[in-house]
Amino acid sequence: MTALPVEAVVLDTDADAQRRHQGDVHVHGGTVALGMAREHQGDVHVHGGTVTFGDPPPWREYSGAAPDAPGHDLAPDPLTARTAADLMELLREFRIWCGEPSYRQMSARCEGAYSPSSFCMAINKQTLPTQQMLIVLVIVCSGNEAAIRPWLTAWRRIKLHSRRQRAV
């Protein structure tokens, strides 16, 4: 059994009432016990030292980039890139369009799979990142897997074009 000393706000998803818990949160085999008095089975979310049970509050969920106002699509279009430098500049603009998450936030969003310095180096260079890094960058910035397709298409086009140029 693991004990986590926290002050927890427990959301009762049935009654939309909040209950506070101070003390240890015990985890044992998928069951959470608050100070050994009350048990909960289901989703447990930890955010900044706060534990919630059930669905996390919507304001706590990472929703990624919000869409622009109707008729004003300001998102950078990766399909306009012709060179690696173009695509990297658009990727930096995309990060800004997505709210300019810090490199630490980006690392946290991928659960530490990449360090903040890895993101900093990848996004600030003029050469193409690996395909995997591009996918991760787009997802951690936008929070939207559907956003990957145009970025991958542009990456592949530039990568294949540069390969063909070297072969000539």
User: What gap in Å lies between CA 29 and CA 105, rounded to an integer?
Assistant: 30
Whose CA is closest to 33, among 139, 167, 122, 41?
Answer: 41
pTM over 0.85: no
Identify the DSSP state of 129. Answer: -
Check residues 124 and 144 and name the one with the higher pLDDT. Answer: 124
* Spatial CB neighbours of 17, under 8 Å, sequence gap ≥ 6: none
Contact 54, 43 (CB under 8 A): yes
Confidence of residue 20 (pLDDT cuts 50, 70, 90): very low
pLDDT beyond 80 at 73:
yes
Q: Which residue has the higher pLDDT, 12 or 46?
A: 46
Confidence tier at 12 by pLDDT (50, 70, 90): very low
Placement of tokens 């016990």 in the chain: 33
C-alpha torsion 120→123→129→134, nearest 10: 100
Q: What is the pLDDT of residues 92-130, one digit of tens each?
A: 999 999 999 999 999 999 999 999 999 999 999 999 999
Higher confidence at residue 137 or residue 31? 137
State residue 143's pLDDT score.
86
